[in-house]
Structure formats: structure tokens, C-alpha cells
Amino acid sequence: MTPAAPIRLCAALFLWACLALTAQAQETRFFEVDTLNEGLPEPPQSLDRDTPQSAMEALLDLVAAGQPGLAAHLLDLRDVPPEEQPERGARLAADLVDVLQRKAVINWTELLERPDALDANANAESPVAGQVQRSILIDVVETGKRPVAIRLNRLKPADGDAVWVFSRQTVANIPRLHALYGPTWFEEELPDLWRVETFWDLRRWELVALPAMLALVGGAGWAAGRAQAMLARRVRSRLATDVLRATRMPIILATCSAILLVLSNSLFIFSGRINSVLGPMIALGFTAAALIFVMNGVDAVLNRIVPFEDDTLSDPRMEARRNLATRIAAWRRVLIVAIVLIGGAIVLSEAQFFGGLGLSILASAGALTLLIGFAARHILGNILASLQIAMNRSAKIGDKLEFRGHICTVERINFTYVQLLDWTGVRLVVPVSEFVAEHFENWTMNDPSMIRTIKVKLAHDTEVQPLREAFFEIIDEQDPKEVQDRDQHFVMVADQDVFGQEVWFCLACAKADTAWMLSCEVREALLDRARAMARDGRPMFPRANPAEAA
């Protein structure tokens, strides 16, 4: 072997590899087929099928010009017998245009004016950035059983150039799609003048039917609300009244959404531009109906379980009811979160905002999550804090507690705030995050009994024993249901200074919800006894002027 032989061998292998790669690259530019629409006559030279955009434009323009037979060249009719291709191809082309105009939203920015459909300006994160395409997804249309894709494919017959046509799978699905989304009997009965396209590719009848349909839907919602209001005035049962009030707005929204859904899918098959708005509106209506139904329904149940008009919920015997009310409120929040997430996903899936309005960057999970998280960080924090309260049960609905110097009862634990009822009747609304972050005294947690301390300042030479006896006499006069056993109460000298001695009268209360009022009554009676002793000449209270006390 000569020294040059290995070099020639390597060069030959390199050339063979380059030729193989080139052939593979050529194959990926199109799908090779034996024949294409052999039953149709030769297409005219003016028919432009070289690029995805020109193929789509040709289909729409030819059907609009009344030339569906020529538009059949833009379909892959290999599954249609050659002798039937002229007649069926024209009908299928016209039906496909109906489906595209009524149900699909064409993103013209993705239909490039290049034979290889290569987008040199695509974002680096795009899956087709810098790649040659031979199949382009136009849209995905629901058919009830499963979604159907509408695609443009680049095909190269053995005896011709590569062209862009609608795929054979799309052609096979045209009859089913047209049966679902084609012209209804209502539209077919209209004169041709009403089916002429006007501005924004909308037909003339759509400009009249859309406001008429919305007015009809609004009237149906108003009628449903009036009927329910009349029914609520006639019923005598409180339960039936609560049910009607809780379901009034959900029924109105569900009625409007259902009628809108039926009309837009049976009587009025609107263009894709209108459907892209009606779909999210219908999904949003059903989601809002479910959300309001859960909120109103659970609130109605809570109002029947929890007696907010008095303090009986803080009674020790009401522990089970307080737990039940708190669990129901917690499940209410969980259901609301689930409905919002599921409903939001449905609305976003129905809306074609991200593909049709050029917001593909915002559609990425990272960017969308950051935007939502930053905008709703305080709301999300309060929601998590409310779920924390429900899980650890640090405060339950009906608990008596002291918060920021207020003696109050927990009325509601909502998503973003806690509603507290002060003993004066004033309602405090505290953000959940602040309520969780600060300490508070829960007087009914575990054991509702508690000891209230009555602190009295007496002179140094005051005898404590007479007041101790008076304290126990006052306790014996109280309702046995409000105080604990006699041996649970005690009196002690807790402190002393230059002004006198500080005596603590410890009152053992049986109920947390009445402990504060009871301690005030006992304090008043105890001071009356001390003043009576002072009138008898006994030293009782320190003699100090305000300046010394300060």
C-alpha cells in the first residue's frame, strides 16, 4: 500500500459521510410520497403552495372566491379514491374553511413565508428555534371524545416539487369537525347577504346575533334571579330561605353560562375570534358559580351551627361544635383554593391568549409563577397563615381570647383576616399574618376554667384576714355554675412597696366567657366591703397623693 492510500481512504469516508448527512437533511425537509392528488387536474402555475403562509392564504382566498375545486389542491387527498377527488376535494376544502373560520384561531406569525418554515428570529427557548419544519400545527379543536389537530405538512411527490398541503389526518377529520362546527340551520336559512364577511373577518349576521345572544342570556339570568326571589318570599322554612339565598347568585351565573354554552354550540356557531372570547367567559362563569356556591353554602351552614348572637359557643359543652365549625371553615378555604386553581386552569386552557396574542414568554411557568407570586405575596401569606391556624387549632371559631388588650370571641377565620367580636360589641378585623405573629391568650383552649386575679393595693397596717373572709363570703353568694369549688380560690400578699402592700384575690372561674364580667362584679363587691371597714376606723387604703403615686 502506498503512503497516499490511507489519505485517500479517509477522504472517501469523509465525503461519504457528508453525502449521507446531506441526504438525511434533505429528507427532513419534507415527507416523500409516491403521488399527490392524482385524481385532480394539474394545478395552475398561479397556485402558490411553496410556503405555509401562502398555502393558508390560497385556501381561504379560493374558497371565498367560489373556487373550492381549485382549493382541493391544498389538501392531501391520498385517502380519497382518485375518481372522487374532484367532487369530494372541493366540498372538503369548503368545509375546512368553515371550521377554520368558526373554531380555530390562526396564528399567522407561525406561518412563515419560507419553504423550509425555518424561523431565524425565534427565541432560543423555542423548541423549533433554528430548525427546518415539515409539519406545522395550526390549532387543536375539541370534538367531544378527543381533541383533533389541524396541520399543514410539506409533501414531495416522486414526480414533483415539495408543496405545503393540509395533512391526510386533518382531511379525514374534516367531516366530523364540520358536523360539529359547520353552519347551523339558522345560518343556512339566512340570505347570502347576511353571510358576507365584513370587518375583522366577521360575518354580517354575527354582528347582530352576538349582542342579541348576550341580551337573551342577560334576560334569562334576570328571570332566574326574580323567580328565586319570589320563591324565597313565599317559603316559611328558615332552612329553605337560607338555601335559596345561598344559591341565588350561583344559579344566575350557572344559568347564564349554560344558555351561552348551548347557544354558542348549537344555534350560533361564531367565528374563531369570537369563540376565543366566549370560551373563557363560559368557563369563568361556571367557575365563579361554583366558587360562590361553596362560599355561600358553607357560610349558611356555619350560621346555623355557630350561635354568634350570644356567648354560648364558648361554653365548655360546646367544644365539639367549635371544632366542627372550625373544620368546616377550613374545608371552605381548601375548596375555594381548589376551585380557583382548577377553574383558572380551565379558563387558561379555553383562552388562546398565549398563542394568539404573542404572550408566549409569559406562558412559561417560571415567569408566570414569579409574576403571580410577587403580585399576591401578601394574600398568599395570609392564606397559608389561615390554613396554619386551622391545622394547629391555636384559635377556633367561638374561642374566647385576649388579643392586644381586647377581650373578644373568634367569629370568623377567613382567608386574609380574622374577625373578632369584642365584649363591647365592636368587631375587630385583623390580618391573619398579624394574628399569627403576635401572642394572645386563649381562655377556652383545652380547659375553659381559669383564674382571674383581682389586685388591690392596701396600706401597710391593713389586716388581710377580714378581707379574705369577705372575699370568700362574696364567692359563696355567686352562682355555683359560674365559680369553681371553694378550695380553688385563694388570697395572697404578692408584693409591697413604700405605698403599701399588694394583695391578690384569686377568683377561680368555671367559664372563660363569663370570667371577666364575674371578676369585675367581685372586685366591686370587695371594694364595697373594704370601704365599709374603712368607715369603721380600720386602716385600709394607702394615703398617697397623685404626685407620689406617679
Query: Are 157 and 294 members of one domain?
Result: no
d(CA 531, CA 369): 69
Domain that holds residue 135: 31-182
pLDDT single digits (tens) 295-351: 777 777 766 666 555 455 555 566 677 777 777 777 777 777 777 778 777 776 666
Residue-level pLDDT at 363: 47
Q: Which range is least confidently modeled, 210-214, 320-324, 422-426?
A: 320-324
Contact predicate 96/110, CB 8 Å: no
Q: Is the pLDDT of residue 275 over 50?
A: yes
Residue-level pLDDT at 146: 80
Q: Is 210 helix (H, G, I), strand (E, B) or coil?
A: helix
List the helix and strand counts (H, then E) for the chain.
Answer: 18, 12
The number of distinct structural domains making up the chain is: 3
Q: Is 127 helix (H, G, I), strand (E, B) or coil?
A: coil
Residue-level pLDDT at 13: 59
Contact predicate 168/89, CB 8 Å: no
Boundary residue ending a domain (409, 424, 442): 442
Residue-level pLDDT at 55: 93
Roughly what angle, to the nearest 10 degrees, separates helices 85-103 and 52-64?
100
Query: Are 237 and 298 members of one domain?
Result: yes
Q: Residue 380 — pLDDT band, cuts 50, 70, 90?
A: low
pLDDT single digits (tens) 300-313: 776 666 655 545 55
Instruction: Name residue, grid cell 362560599.
Output: 295
**Mean pLDDT along residues 240-255:** 84
Residue-level pLDDT at 294: 80
Nine-digit cell string for 238: 328558615
Q: Alpha helix (H) ranges present in 38-114?
A: 52-64, 68-71, 85-103
Residue-level pLDDT at 21: 42
Query: Are 398 and 485 members of one domain?
Result: no
Query: Are 424 and 455 members of one domain?
Result: no
Concatenated DSSP letters of 454-516: EEEEE-TT--HHHHHHHHHHHHHTS-TTTB--GGG-EEEEEEEETTEEEEEEEEEES-HHHHH
Query: Are 71 and 135 members of one domain?
Result: yes
Q: Which of 47, 33, 157 is nearest to 93 (CA)?
A: 47
d(CA 139, CA 109): 13
**Domain assignment of residue 26, yes or no:** no
Residue-level pLDDT at 150: 92
Q: Is the pLDDT of residue 158 over 80?
A: yes
What pTM did the predictor assign?
A: 0.57
**Domain assignment of residue 4, yes or no:** no
Q: Is the pLDDT of residue 360 over 50?
A: no
The percentage of residues in the chain with a pLDDT greater than 90, rounded to a whole number, is 25
Q: Is the pLDDT of residue 89 over 90?
A: yes
Q: Residue 9 — pLDDT band, cuts 50, 70, 90?
A: low
Contact predicate 59/96, CB 8 Å: yes
Q: Is the pLDDT of residue 362 over 50?
A: no
491: domain CATH number is: 3.30.70.100
Q: Is the pLDDT of residue 22 over 90?
A: no
d(CA 56, CA 153): 12
pLDDT single digits (tens) 449-464: 778 889 999 998 888 9
Boundary residue ending a domain (442, 461, 477): 442
Q: Work out whether strand 163-166 and strand 400-403 pair parallel, antiparallel, or are unpaired.
A: unpaired
**Mean pLDDT along residues 216-227:** 90
Query: Are 384 and 429 members of one domain?
Result: yes
Residue-level pLDDT at 241: 78
Residue-level pLDDT at 83: 92
d(CA 466, CA 5): 126
**Mean pLDDT along residues 111-124:** 73
**Domain assignment of residue 91, yes or no:** yes
Query: Are 348 and 399 members of one domain?
Result: yes
**Secondary-structure percent of the chain, ordered helix, strand, coil, rounded to 5:** 55, 15, 30
Angle at CA 178, nearest 5°, toward 174 and 179?
120
Query: Are 312 and 419 members of one domain?
Result: yes
d(CA 145, CA 177): 12
Concatenated DSSP letters of 302-356: HHHHS-TTSSGGGSGGGHHHHHHHHHHHHHHHHHHHHHHHHHHHHHHHH--HHHH
Residue-level pLDDT at 350: 64
Residue-level pLDDT at 219: 92
pLDDT single digits (tens) 493-514: 999 888 889 999 999 988 877 8
**Domain assignment of residue 253, yes or no:** yes
Of 58 and 195, the structure prediction assigns the larger pLDDT to: 58
Of 372 and 194, the structure prediction assigns the larger pLDDT to: 194
Query: Are 110 and 145 members of one domain?
Result: yes
Nine-digit cell string for 389: 391556624
Residue-level pLDDT at 5: 58
Nine-digit cell string for 142: 375539541
Angle at CA 327, nearest 5°, toward 323 and 332?
150
Q: Is the pLDDT of residue 355 over 50?
A: no
**Mean pLDDT along residues 98-104:** 83
Q: Residue 86 — pLDDT band, cuts 50, 70, 90?
A: very high
The percentage of residues in the chain with a pLDDT greater than 70, rounded to a whole number, is 79
Query: Are 506 and 436 members of one domain?
Result: no
Query: Are 438 and 454 members of one domain?
Result: no
Of 215 and 121, the structure prediction assigns the larger pLDDT to: 215
Rg (CA), the chain: 40
Q: Which range is least confidently modeled, 9-13, 152-156, 346-350, 470-474?
A: 9-13
**Domain assignment of residue 196, yes or no:** no
- What is the maximum alpha-carbon separation in the chain? 139
d(CA 506, CA 203): 85
Residue-level pLDDT at 388: 73
**C-alpha distance across the termini of the chain, in Å:** 117
Query: Are 252 and 388 members of one domain?
Result: yes
**Domain assignment of residue 84, yes or no:** yes
**Domain assignment of residue 188, yes or no:** no
**Domain assignment of residue 278, yes or no:** yes
